Structure 1
């Protein structure tokens, strides 16, 4: 059978000329597989399968085109909403049987007798073209095992062709959405001990050197900028090591117990060089071989398993110019650029970092600490943020320059800035704290310096020409996460916030609020149910939870069931008949309303059941708000069981917000809860009889009040005795002084606001160390006393 007439091709059938059939990734893997380059075995579900999927399911192509035609890609909310509709549409359609059968047959051929773990990676036909870097715009799924799971994840890859960022990129690069086809690579999973990225020329300057980044575990933490890799600079001609920067690595991503999970690195290895000198040279030789084969500088993803090096991806470096790679001296700066450099030398330096994208630009500082603030960025502003994420791309396009607190040479901000050809400085550590909002600054992406005031340039920005002979590769140090016994989680509403939580090193989500999901729907949930639109409600809840649980997996995500107050329900369409309450804060809300209107709670439980069973997002737990009597736990568990959600096989817990819940915590424990979380905002106001919305009594509001602390301490002790996990998700979780007290009491985890995670982790580390030292001293003193007695 000709390779163009079937749905699956093994690597040994493919070469670099097959990009139209299997995409850039698939073609490059096939090309390398036929040489001496070490590539793990695999196959590609080619574009014929995707085309057949679209044509077999009548109307889907037309519906996708219709949604895209109605989408303004520069409207972030509209872009995300409409592309989500397309992804849901693709996942709602059944995979044609003949495609499914061929994928399963290929999987069994790859595995042999026993099912094996594979990586399922998207490979777009527009990916890896010389002038447009589309790499990373579609999804990758790791540690997939079993024929049905492989088929399911192939379809998820197809759906990922229409993420907001991928759709934005294609539109900007003027690619026809309906002529961009997706293939899917299915490749034997390498259980990497060490992995990373290798460039056969500097992606920043074009200098003709080999740059290798290496870290323990799977490579996703390197590409995603989660850990700081070692950086090795190698002379391409001799493979002599020119320079080494060894980084501390405390966490890694590994395959464990059949899933991908974050683990702590043993202290013995945290400061060690990740690759030996011999292996660095061998890897450099592989890079030279690949570059010679392609006759172009290459960006390579590699990994090491049991001492053997494998290449899992290779693509052209799209951000450097030909003359830089060939070693020719780049042309001299223009008069205006020379003038710009002279002016910067006379300006006050405010801050420095690492220049990862060349150019000089002046503009107004816009500090973005939260995804809700993205709308403040106007054309020509300078975006200042802790770290960018893929969904920021539409906003990054408007910026004249980008500055981040963290990041490295291969981090998201660096890659996108080089592609957009705008100056970028990463690794400043403190830009979001030290720069002043609305002030005017100048960014020199070549020198990595930030100056006070504006440089007199024509236009918003001027690129500075690169001189390859002058540039040196700079290693970017990312703040190394402290490892604490107390888990530090995040309070989350949206996917974008979850992504920031991952970047901040959160151990999970201690509070996923449901309220925004219902407010986004815009209609009263009871109205949807009465209009026989229950399935629509379940789907929308699923989408909201999935967005966060997917990003955080396998870290736990505790979903708090609906806790809207009557005055908030009234603002929804269909909420006209909501009762008038004198004080909705202590009225018909939380679990008390959910038990009265069980159909809404059942929809929430049904959404979670499907996500856990069908999407295998087993990291989702349930947290019930406003609990005041054990019978409420009992009733909620019965309702969950009725729809097939077993509360005893998942995290199923409660908020402690009402003093009654704290006072009879033993009775709740007997009902079978796996965790509690303090809602200190409500617990404080209910304990002290204060309305926290009243300005008249605001001065009396105090979460450190002895009565509040006594209730918290009482609950933690009872839970400790019964192996029930304890956490906090109120505002006090972001208060260092309160967190110090909670850790001394013995709390298991703290859920903080995203911008406070780093601070709270430092507090936790300091307090835990202090407790360990005090304990050690006490033991020493006890032994000395006993010794003296003897």
Structure 2
């Protein structure tokens, strides 16, 4: 049997020249093994095996006839869906010829023998012969199945991979690109599953800015599917190639992960343990080892790469790091012309009060502006009913079934995902502005309403902002880097980039929030209530308790806090409990009766030591009741608190006990900050 007629081939025998036989994914796995890259063991079911299958069973002509009959209007997604449904049913109901079946079964048995295991869990991945070439990319057109165990299931998933050559998105893609369906074939890679502690994606070039000196690594706990699909906003690490040092990191709140169910063997998603959600999924030495491999792979291929990786929980460092896929980066590596330099026009001026930020996220697609009518959808079926050319697609996360509707979109906004998720990759390829990882766009954006999406800074504004949409191009500087995009400062509209560091603002006078609420801040990091005590209430809390008006204190304080919290929802307001010193409390009506005279009030009876004292505890409870009123009665869950002057742990614990008794206990949506002063 000649090389071109082989039914299966082991990865270690493959090279990049074997793309016609095994497709880009499988050929690249073999190529990386030859270059010394750590790749899990596996083999490919060749494209020849697929061709043999459709010809010997007589279904080839039936497949292509269905496409000719069904797809008559290139921009009608429903026609692609109908063709796909019929073709996939045809392929999956056709028995695999025994010669092919026996070859696949024997190869799987040999893999088990090599790994000294009876039933090795494997990943079964599609690898089309026109996929992953420089002018033919679109991530995830065909299917992948994880944690496949046993010969029978490997055979079943191989056929499903074959049928995935005709998903709606795959038929659409080939039609739009002008590829003849009869000339595109598919191979299937069968590869040992890594028992992943963490996994994800990395680029050997910054995929958003095009900076060739940066390696961008995104990851989550468990299997990498959560990162690729955009099911979570992942951790992000940026490594400088020149120094091989981590120059940026963003640790996300990772609430879910994909794992192998030990009972069923299937891939399931589970909650990340609370104690791990805000912890990095990678250690620094693992980040740097991945960066080292990214450089090695890029140098081997001579062009930037898009790489999938996994860290095995069963093996020690550095042998625990594996590369499971690599393909050419398809946006920046294909750019041949420099963007013309543009000057900022005077027309970018826009009154601050006219701008309203709806959501913020991560800029991930074309670094430009998109404006239009939002279509908030939960799935591709809903998108098929409502999406029109130029609409803003708003959804939780995208998958390959969204591609026909993403092509229609003027901009894309998602709740989840990072710069290597599906929505980010496809939007860059389509040249569409995209903002991902907003957390709540599907809740805050309204279908049918108009918005402006600034994909340079990761901000979505309410309404159409003419000054932006008239000058939508990104603004490159002379070095080719993009300048910061617009914010509201001094009444003039300028864009502000989304940074890994959240910028919070201080506030003392509640009414001032109306002047400041349009500024680009993430929340109020310190709301001092002393102004409310002095100006709204004016009376010492113990005096009010003595005369039976303690509720007045609660109501007035709650009103002041609520003024701010309502104005900036859902951004948080961190309310610092009162931090008056004894001399300042004496200035309140009735204060002289309750306050001692101290030589140095700055170091005296204040903060936590005041709250827990038998003389003042009941007044502290009034402050707690005011916060609870905002949160529980008025629904202002964006109100958090801060304890000032935390001097000892036992004082802090006592304060927390009092707060708990008053209904204030730390949860995921109620944070308690400490201010430790020395």
Normalised-by-shorter TM-score class: 0.5 to 0.7
Unaligned runs of 5+ in 2: 485-496, 502-659, 665-678
Q: How does 1:629-778 map to 2 (within 5 A)?
A: none
* Residue 238, structure 1, aligned to residue 243, structure 2: yes
How far off its partner does 1:303 sit?
0.6
Deviation at 1:369, TM superposition (A): 5.0
Aligned partner of 1:161 in structure 2 is: 165
| Aligned: 1:445 with 2:470 | no
Structure 2 CA distance for partners of 1:303 and 1:125, relative to 1, 3 Å: same
Distance in 1 (CA, whole Å) between partners of 2:246 and 2:498 is 15
- DSSP 3-state at the match of 2:146: strand
Q: 1:450 to 1:34 in 2, by over 3 A?
A: same
Offset from partner CA, 1:627-668 (integer Å, 9 cap, x none): xxxxxxxxxxxxxxxxxxxxxxxxxxxxxxxxxxxxxxxxxx
* Equivalence for 2:439: 429
Deviation at 1:430, TM superposition (A): 3.8
Q: How does 1:41-52 map to 2 (within 5 A)?
A: 41-52=41-52
Q: Deviation of residue 292 (structure 1)?
A: 0.5
Q: Measure how far apart 1:383 and its partner are.
A: 2.3
Q: Which residue of the partner structure matches residue 122 of structure 2?
A: 118
* Secondary structure at the counterpart of residue 216 of structure 2: strand
In the comparison of the two structures, how many residue pairs are matched? 474
Provide, for residues 397-445 of structure 1, a one-character-per-residue CA deviation record: whole Å limited to 9, x for no partner: 1121122333321222222211110111223334344445444433221
Could you list the per-position Cα deviations for residues 116-155 of structure 1 after superposition, in whole angstroms to 9, with x for gaps in the alignment? 1211100011211112323311111112222222122111
Inter-partner Cα distance in structure 2 for 1:222 and 1:90? 30
CA deviation string 1:90-119 (max 9, x = no partner) = 011111111111112211222116331211
Partner in structure 1 of residue 225 of structure 2: 220
CA contact (8 A) 2:209 2:482 kept: no
1:241-640 superposed matches below 5 A? 241-255=246-260, 256-257=262-263, 258-305=265-312, 306-307=315-316, 308-321=320-333, 330-334=338-342, 338-339=344-345, 342=348, 348-351=355-358, 352-357=360-365, 358-369=367-378, 371-372=381-382, 374-454=384-464, 462-464=472-474, 466=476, 468-470=480-482
Q: Relative to 1, partners in 2 of residues 1:168 and 1:459: Cα closer, same or farther, differing over 3 Å?
A: farther
Counterpart residue number, 2:108: 107
| Residue range with higher mean Cα deviation, 215-224 or 402-411 | 402-411
**Superposed displacement of residue 223, structure 1:** 1.0
- 2:180, 2:243 → 1: CA distance? 45
Report the alpha carbon displacement of residue 340 of structure 1 after superposing the two structures with TM.
Answer: 9.0
Report if aligned partners of 2:112, 2:119 keep a CA contact under 8 Å in 1: yes
CA contact (8 A) 2:374 2:393 kept: yes
Counterpart in the other structure of 2:139: 135
Question: 8 Å contact 1:199–1:299 — kept in the other structure?
Answer: yes
Question: Structure 1's 471 and 420: CA in aligned 2 closer, same or farther, altered over 3 A?
Answer: same
Retained in 1: the 8 A contact 2:230–2:398?
no
Q: Let me know the Cα RMSD of the aligned residues.
A: 3.0
Q: Which residue of 2 aligns with 1:698?
A: none
Q: Stretches of 4+ moved more than 6 A in 1? A: 344-347, 457-461, 471-477
Q: State the shift of 1:212 in Å.
A: 0.9
After TM superposition, give the deviation of residue 462 of structure 1 in Å.
5.0
TM-score (norm 2): 0.65
In structure 2, do the counterparts of structure 1 residues 476 and 378 end up closer, same or farther at CA, with 3 Å as the change threshold?
Answer: farther
After superposition, what is the alpha-carbon deviation per residue over 1:253-291, rounded to whole angstroms, capped at 9, x for unaligned? 222233323334334433322211111111110110001
CA distance in 1, matches of 2:499, 2:52: 46
- Which structure's residues are more often helix, by fraction? 1
Q: Partner residue of 1:489?
A: none
| Residues 24 and 315, structure 1, Cα contact 8 Å, conserved in 2 | yes
CA distance in 2, matches of 1:461, 1:50: 50
CA distance 1:65–1:457, change in 2 (3 Å): farther
Q: Which residue of 2 aligns with 1:82?
A: 83
Q: Deviations over 1:152-172 (max 9, x none)?
A: 211110011111122112212
SS at the partner of 1:231?
A: strand
Identify the residue that residue 17 of structure 1 maps to in structure 2.
17
Corresponding position of 1:514: none
Identify if the C-alpha distance between structure 1 residues 471 and 260 changes in structure 2 by more than 3 Å, giving closer, same or farther: farther
Q: Which residue of 2 is the match for residue 64 of structure 1?
A: 63
**Rounded Cα–Cα distance in structure 1 between residues aligned with 2:470 and 2:369:** 9
Question: 1:24-43: per-residue Cα shift (whole Å, max 9, x none)?
Answer: 10110010011211001111
Please say which structure displays the higher CA radius of gyration: 2
Distance 1:48 1:372 in 2: 38
TM-score (norm 1): 0.56
Shift of 1:345: 8.3
Match of 1:200 among 204, 221, 225: 204
Deviations 1:341-377 (A, max 9, x none): 8257876243333211122233233333564354222
Is the CA contact 2:348–2:467 (under 8 Å) kept in the aligned structure 1? no
